[in-house]
Structure 1
Amino acid sequence: MTANDDIREIVRQRYAESARQLTTVAAGAPCCGSGGSGGSCCGPSTLEGNVTAEGTVVFGSGLYSQEEAEGATAAVEASLGCGVPTAVADLHEGETVLDLGSGAGGDVLISARRVGPSGRAIGLDMTTEMLELARKNAADAGVANVEFLHGYLEEIPLPDASVDVVISNCVINLAADKDVVLAEAARVTRPGGRFAVSDVLADVDMDEATRADLAAYTGCIAGALTEQEYRAALAGAGWTDVEVRPTHRVHEHAQSAIIRAVRA
């Protein structure tokens, strides 16, 4: 296996375990032995849960308002993300939306409601356990205009220029080769289409010990790009009008941000 394959497998194993824990919670058992909700006790391993000592929510369902989660509550409660990309994706009736690393399906279900019956929301995930959970959440919510695909961000199983909007919630930073991921996202997006993701950005002074810690990949920290690196990667992949808006700190060396761009 290559180093990139090793990273992918580490991430897959971590999120497969998260899906198993979330399924256990849905069945009525406590998660991780804490008795808490899946979103909080199964969150990123590099933080003390999803809330800082000061009470600031940094990951998970607490970032969503009740209105934003309407119709997708169970799936949103399982969120391990660092933001709310659907809040800034400006989705319209009839559009096709692709969620990279769709997890339990919360953002896909929210997107499906916003694009309406004439639109389509697609979730892509490499973790079989997460896909099973997402499909169950969609069925329980009675949402029909959704599809969940098994695959990798570096090899999106969709035709060229087949989606209007790409979203993602704290997943692209987990990919070992982000240049390939952003190029693939551009390939499947129609000209003029949009990129609207929540992701983690590394501070320029992130220390090498943090970056070298492979375990931190599953907590969305070690794999993060700096803002300058992210902007350059998007431009190199064919995205224009790049906008980066930091939202909150998630680590002493990293912050969450909304990142938007337009397909050239």
Structure 2
Amino acid sequence: MKTEAEIKELVRQKYSEIALQDKTTNESSCCGAGGCSTEVYNIMTDDYTDLKGYNPDADLGLGCGLPTQFAVIKKGDVVIDLGSGAGNDCFVARSEAGESGKIIGIDFTEAMINKARQNAENLGFNNVEFRQGDIEHMPVTSNTADVVVSNCVLNLVPNKDKVFKEIFRVLKPGGHFSISDVVLSGNLPEKLKNAAEMYAGCVSGAIQKETYLELIKINGFTDMRIQKEKPIIIPDDILQNYLSAEELSAFKSGNTGIFSISVYAAKPEQVVACVPGGGCC
């Protein structure tokens, strides 16, 4: 079992490589995580091309949902995108928030930040900024954001509880988030859980759906609801790299499910109790 520091370094290295690839190359890999099935982009990525603000240069094909589609962003909002990559969701969010809004993208990887900043400069956007940082310790002051979005990123973070505490801290009272992520029902085979490619590929870092939703509740959020859910089917030609024929058959006939969910929740207008990490204690 890798340590949290080792997992973070694995993710940093892999996504630094991805930042230098084009979308076509990334789509032919497992969430950009390595050369595998040419059909694998169908298991994760949703189509952004019809969304206002979409910019193909910022789309690396790495998401597992369309959180900005459900985020209820209003003109003038301050929006934070966690794991902003090349800027795709930030630019879609800007189309909703307008010139009076402010968009802040946070990413762990220097190469992604550089790519996103170049894209913003090319588009002439002066109200979109990108900050390099760990979303477990966001480089943002408390009570800043009206909306937080994220697309297939929390599954890459070892300590998801810390991230939800940070989301609570940076949201304004009454603010909300819309996050797309990968969750599980049942248990992954150990060989998949321990595979570095499966971690960077957004699968083995996923946790149980019930645990994920409970983390949202215990960190003080209200009005939680799942906005969209879809199953993720990993093609056999990927699975057989890690599982024997017998193990593959058992996995496919078992009760393990892998899902992409988009979930919404809000920070209460008035925090009546001190939530750890919420900035009040």
- TM-score, structure 1 as length reference: 0.85
1:68 to 2:68 alignment: no
Partner of 2:149: 167
Q: Is the 8 A contact 1:247 1:258 kept in 2?
A: no
Deviation track 1:36-73 (CA, whole Å, cap 9, x = no partner) reads 72441355237845735xxx82334xx22432154522
Deviates more, 1:197-206 or 1:93-102: 197-206
Report the Cα offset of residue 136 of structure 1: 1.0
Counterpart AA for 2:47 = Y
Deviates more, 1:243-252 or 1:140-149: 243-252
Q: Which runs of 5+ in 2 are unaligned?
A: 235-251, 269-281
Q: Is the 8 A contact 2:53 2:95 kept in 1?
A: no
Q: Is the 8 A contact 2:182 2:202 kept in 1?
A: yes
Counterpart AA for 2:196 = L
Q: Is the 8 A contact 2:81 2:105 kept in 1?
A: yes
1:236 to 2:223 alignment: no
Residue of structure 2 aligned with 1:254, choices 252, 258, 273: 258
Report the Cα offset of residue 205 of structure 1: 3.2
Separation (CA, whole Å) in 1 of partners of 2:195 and 2:185: 16
Partner of 2:168: 186
Report the Cα offset of residue 177 of structure 1: 0.4
Deviates more, 1:178-187 or 1:243-252: 243-252
Kindly report which structure 2 residues correspond to 1:25-174, keeping only aligned pairs within 5 A, or say none.
37-41=24-28, 43-44=30-31, 45=33, 48-49=36-37, 51-52=39-40, 57-60=42-45, 63-68=46-51, 70-76=53-59, 78-174=60-156
CA RMSD of aligned residues (A): 2.1
| Residues 96/50 of structure 1: CA separation in 2 closer, same or farther (3 Å cut) | farther
Separation (CA, whole Å) in 2 of partners of 1:43 and 1:70: 26
Paired residues, what number? Answer: 244
Deviates more, 1:136-145 or 1:37-46: 37-46
Q: Is the 8 A contact 1:165 1:193 kept in 2?
A: yes
| Residues 214/236 of structure 1: CA separation in 2 closer, same or farther (3 Å cut) | farther
Determine helix, strand or coil for the equivalent of 1:64. coil
Separation (CA, whole Å) in 2 of partners of 1:48 and 1:255: 20
Q: Is the 8 A contact 1:91 1:111 kept in 2?
A: yes
Partner of 2:200: 218
Separation (CA, whole Å) in 1 of partners of 2:52 and 2:35: 24
Report the Cα offset of residue 154 of structure 1: 0.5
Percent identity, aligned pairs only, is 33
Deviation track 1:76-109 (CA, whole Å, cap 9, x = no partner) reads 2x23111111111011000000000000100001
Counterpart AA for 1:185 = I
Separation (CA, whole Å) in 1 of partners of 2:167 and 2:38: 28
Determine helix, strand or coil for the equivalent of 1:256. strand
Q: Is the 8 A contact 2:231 2:258 kept in 1?
A: no
Separation (CA, whole Å) in 2 of partners of 1:147 and 1:134: 9
Higher Rg = 2
Deviation track 1:116-153 (CA, whole Å, cap 9, x = no partner) reads 11101110001000001111111122222101001001
